[in-house]
Chain A
Amino acid sequence: MPIIDSVRSLPGLDLQRRQSRATRLHLDLPLLFLLITLCGFGLVILYSASGGNIFMVQRQLIRFGVAFLGMFIIAQFDPRVFQRWGLTVYILVLMLLIAVLVAGKKSMGAQRWLDLPLLPAFQPSEIMKLALPIMIAWYLSRKTLPPGRLQLVVAMIAVVIPVGLIIKQPDLGTSLLIMASGVFVIFLAGIGWRWIIGAGVAVTALVPILWMFVMREYQKQRVLTLFNPDSDKLGAGWNINQSKIAIGSGGFQGKGYMEGTQSQLDFLPESHTDFIIAVLAEEFGFLGVLVLIAIYLALTARGLVISVKARDSFGRLLAGSVTLTFFIYVFVNIGMVSGILPVVGVPLPLVSYGGTSIVTLLGGFGLLMSVATHQKI
């Protein structure tokens, strides 16, 4: 695998000794290096996107600190611990998701948050982002791969239930990401190509049904806007038009740090959250975009390397799914901001301002590090 070999040595420098010392701390140095670079880059962009708001940057920095700590703690556990508790956690989170629909906190027209006593308010759907791939990976790796028909059906049901619950909140972005994390496990487990093609056909057939019965008016509007952003320049099309203008006007070199007129003069909505890459693209140009995508690609590649080098199938499936889901984050976000995907609320991982996604994303990297650093049986 020449590609994988080259990726393995990508961040660099073969520092076997240092790596082994890091391994004792259950840290994967290439991942850690890339993550710190990404977060640092993210903070720099955030400072500009927030209009020079240093408090916002500080809060984001604190979140990073907490999330890195979480990642470090998760990395200390042997993957077998997750394997053992996967089902229990999955069922627990499912119950929390039901609780959200019954007694969740409403904000901005959606019901996503759960405010339990003695705990800070949180979104159970975020935990599901990790709990689902762990559970499916555990379930499918119990028997020899590829999985049998019954196993596949069970696995799919296990995916569909939480996804359905989250769609009801409604949270289209998160439910899609969670579905992806489950589907990636099934795919990596070696599901037959016939199944994959069949599923593709089924999804295509489902689209009209989704359109008519499941999707809400604002969601439909977003999809329609994608195909014709000029139809409603001041309404639904505003965001996407402005972000395209920001990106396009950035050109090759960008307008300069803190010099982006689209973002600094507030033409770009959501500039510090979901649309933050437009700020980067405007101020750092195509060069900045290249650097950012390169970091994401390197992280993805390192994750996949960890996956193939994992000790057992559970580790391989889990690491592969977590990595690919991370990439999907990136793809969906950049795709929607640049106007090739409908606007679903997916943040740019580790760059967008916002709490919960940072914790689960770095939690995912914690799982990767756990898989990477627990090689001996």
Chain B
Amino acid sequence: MSDLSIQDRSGEKNLVLRRTLVAFIVVMFMTSVLLWRMFNLQLIQHEVFETLSLNNRVQGQDIAPTRGLIYDRNGNLLAENLPSHNLSLVMERVVDLDLTLSQLRELIEITDNQEKRFRNRLRKPRRPYEPVPVKFKLTAEEIATLAVNTYFLDGVEVEASLIRQYPHGASFAHVLGYVGRINEQELRKVDPEAYAGTGFIGKIGIEKTYEKQLLGKVGYRTIETNARGRILRVLEEEPPEPGVDLHLHLDLELQKLAEKELEGKRGAIVAMDTTTGGILAFVSTPSFDPNLFVTGISNKDYSKLRDSLDVPFLNRVARGLYPPASTLKPFLGLGGLQSGATTWEKEINDTGLFFLENHERPFRDWKVGGHGDKVDLVAAVVESCDTYFYDLAVNMTLEPMHEILDQFGFGKVTSVDVHNAKAGINPTREWKRKRHGYSWFAGDSVNLGIGQGYMLASPLQVTIATAVLANKGIWKAPKLLMHSSSETLNKIRSEKPMDIILDDPSHWDKMHEALRLVVHGPKGTARATGIGAPFQMAGKTGTAQVKSLAQDEEYDAEAIEERYRDHAWFSGFAPFENPKIAVTVFVENGEHGSWMAPIARRLFENWLLRTEVMADSGKEPDSFNLEVSELLAKTEGTDHANH
């Protein structure tokens, strides 16, 4: 390099110097770009990022309130909350969902259906880091397997939560209903904030009626989490308020007994405390296990229940509508007396046929040849004479019949807290014109006279009417709830219809006596039931004709034939002198109302003997036998006296 001239060297030096200067200017420029960027992020946009940073680490979390418990009248648990371990995924932490799911399936059993429902849940909106359940009610073995392996599986969590449990399963399914995962439709109707913690809502039954009270108030806490959603500390907490505990009038023992009586049958039993209006038993068979619905029933199980010809989903007590048939006669009889269409003294000649003007075919009495030439109202009730009531109906005309049935609660909902009870049909002229397009014919009145035709009522309504009759017109609001842990709820006065006042109150006693003779009289339709009873009962049988049946070709002839048999009713109260309980037994295609009466008697007995003892709590259990025998002696005495 010694051959380079000095000039070249200094020229070179200046060249590099100039370039270095250019480079330094560029460096300064680039530095200012960086500084401006930092200035912009840290000072100008600071608040935006401050908020984002806060949102990152601070999560609001809802704390589910404990759902109120449901007890029967004696404090037996009917609905409780049991801890359940669920497998959930925190989607924010799951890297590859398909991979994670297949890894989980290697560890524990996850059915295709469970995965499908999990994927459905995924589509619903949720809060950040909110675990999405995959499988509920893990077994101890599954919990252990997952505990060992979840460390390697990002986003997999086993969390404990309280799950609604119905210890008596199918026994109370129709009355209590059940809770289930809240769906989008329901979410639109309720305050989503109130349900943020639980995700469960009462779907039907008591669970639905008292949903607001049972739910409780959601709690809230703000927590600090790290990027993996792990909770580091609780910053703030507002504890949840547990839901209201409900004590129902229902009696576990009576309910179980009623359920046993209806085993294998399609039917309903309702028992009511006539002194309070409290519903003691509420059984509809066949039933289903409500526990299946809590965490989501499988499609297979659901369609099996849904498609069953026995319709287990039908709440026959409150939503099964049937012709009340002869059970309606006492009420119509009272209506006839009140309107002056008949008297206790009036007698008719029953030939077994009733002819109506301009009507070709005669109306038949159930008894071929009739009940004789001297049938008065008592005989007509005791022997369930149809002809008497055909005649009464024609004399009464529709309006007074509708009026008295309305007063007894037919054609409307009078129960306070039975979920989704049906009103049934207490027909009027206007109703028929609207519904069928025809005017009311005299023949329609004749049919109504024996509780057939357009008349439809639920077993619950028949029971309520019987209870009102037992109370001689005094209404007690029909109710499931006895009391609760909420003072405000306890203070709510239930609305009830006006009491029935007859011009001559002695009609009540006479009608009671007629109903007593149904069970205890020598000609009563349920006379077999009364034999040897430790107390006196009153009641009315009913046999309803089955007019139409949904065609279903899949069922064999015998099954169809069975389903054309008459529906059977018995509705009554006891003890006769001082009514305490009203019971209705209804069995679809049960053929004869008289066959239902023994069932009612067993319920009466169970309730009365138990409450007699309980009412006198000072006595020792030893005195129970004495009590019963005393009672027996007393009732037998009165029985004789009345014969």
Identify whether the interface residues of A are mostly helix, strand, loop, or mixed. Answer: helix
Q: Which residue of B lies closest to A338 (CB)?
A: B37
B52 interface hit (Cβ, 8 Å):
yes
Q: Which B residues lie within 8 Å of A247 (CB)?
A: 38, 41-42, 49
- In contact, A317 and B48 (Cβ under 8 angstroms): no
B92 on the A face (CB < 8 A): yes
Nearest residue (CB) in B for A300 is B27
Majority SS at the chain B contact face: helix
Residue contact B16 to A245, C-beta cutoff 8 Å: no
Pair count A-B, CB < 8 A: 144
Interface with B: A69-77, A204-212, A289-297, A352-360, which one?
A289-297
The complex places the Cα of A316 from the Cα of B33 at a distance, in Å, of 27
For the complex, what is the distance from the CA of A313 to the CA of B4, rounded to whole Å?
12
Q: Which one of A190, A251, A286 lies within 8 Å of B15 (CB-CB)? A: A190
B27 close to A252 (CB less than 8 A): no
Known contacts A308-B20, A331-B34; A262/B53 CB under 8 A: yes
Q: Pick the residue among A251, A265, A267, A324 that contacts B43 (CB under 8 A).
A: A251
| A3 CB–B CB distance under 8 Å | yes
* B235 interface hit (Cβ, 8 Å): no
- Chain A CB within 8 A of B304 CB: no
Could you say which residues of chain B place their CB within 8 Å of the CB of A290? 35
- Given the known inter-chain contacts A246-B53, A266-B228, A304-B23, please indicate yes or no for A340 contacting B33, CB distance below 8 A: yes
Within 8 Å of chain B (Cβ to Cβ): is A184? yes
Which of A144, A145, A187, A248 sits near B41, CB closer than 8 Å?
A: A248
- A interface residues (Cβ-Cβ under 8 A, vs B): 1, 3-4, 144-146, 184, 187-190, 234, 242, 244-252, 261-262, 265-267, 281, 285-286, 289-290, 293, 297, 300-301, 304, 307-308, 312-313, 316-317, 320, 324, 327, 331, 334-335, 338-340
Check B27 against A261 for contact (C-beta < 8 Å): no
Chain A residues with CB under 8 Å of B27's CB are 297, 300, 304, 324, 327
Shortest distance between the CB of B265 and any CB in chain A (Å): 58
14 A–B pairs (Cβ distance < 8 Å), ordered by A: A189-B19, A190-B15, A248-B48, A251-B42, A252-B46, A262-B56, A265-B225, A289-B35, A320-B16, A331-B34, A334-B38, A335-B37, A338-B37, A340-B37
Taking a contact as CB atoms under 8 Å apart, the answer to whether B42 and A250 are in contact is yes
Cα(A332)–Cα(B534), bound, Å: 100
B227 with A267: CB separation less than 8 A: yes
Are B57 and A267 interface neighbours, CB within 8 A? yes
B183 contacts partner chain A, Cβ-Cβ < 8 Å: no
Q: Does B139 sit within 8 A of A, measured CB to CB? A: no
Determine whether B31 belongs to the interface, using a CB cutoff of 8 Å to chain A.
Answer: yes
> Does B17 sit at the interface, judged by CB under 8 A?
yes
Residues on B with C-beta less than 8 A from A3 are 24
Contacts of B21 in A (CB 8 A): 1
A230 to chain B, nearest CB (A): 11
Give B8's nearest chain A residue, CB to CB. Answer: A144
Judged by a CB distance under 8 angstroms, whether B12 is at the interface is yes
Give CA–CA (A345, B132) in the complex, Å.
36
B13 CB within 8 Å of chain A? yes
B56 touches A267 (CB 8 A): yes
Indicate with 1 or 0, residue by residue over B1-31, a CB within 8 angstroms of chain A CB atoms: 1001000100111011101110110010011
Q: Is the CB of B92 within 8 A of A248?
A: no
Cβ-defined contact, A234 with B224, below 8 A = no
A285 to B46, CA, bound (A): 10
Contact with A along B55-74 (1 / 0, CB 8 A): 01100000000000000000
- List residues of chain A with CB within 8 A of the CB of B37: 334-335, 338-340
**In the complex, residue of chain B having the shortest beta-carbon distance to the beta carbon of A268:** B227
> Given A3-B24, A252-B42, are A245 and B52 neighbors across the interface (CB < 8 Å)?
yes
Contact A293 B31 (CB under 8 A): yes
B232 at the interface (CB under 8 A from A): yes
Contact partner of A293 (CB less than 8 A), chosen from B35, B49, B56, is B35
Nearest opposing residue in chain B for A238, CB measure: B227
**Contact in complex: B56, A184 (CB < 8 Å):** no
Question: What separation, in Å, do the CA atoms of A308 and B23 have in the docked complex?
Answer: 12
Name which residue of chain B comes closest to A190, CB basis. Answer: B15
Q: Tell me whether B49 and A244 are in contact (CB under 8 A).
A: yes
Report how far A267 CA is from B46 CA in the complex, Å.
18
Interface membership of B50, Cβ < 8 A: yes
| B45 adjacent to chain A (CB < 8 Å) | yes
Give B153 Cβ to nearest chain A Cβ, in Å.
Answer: 18
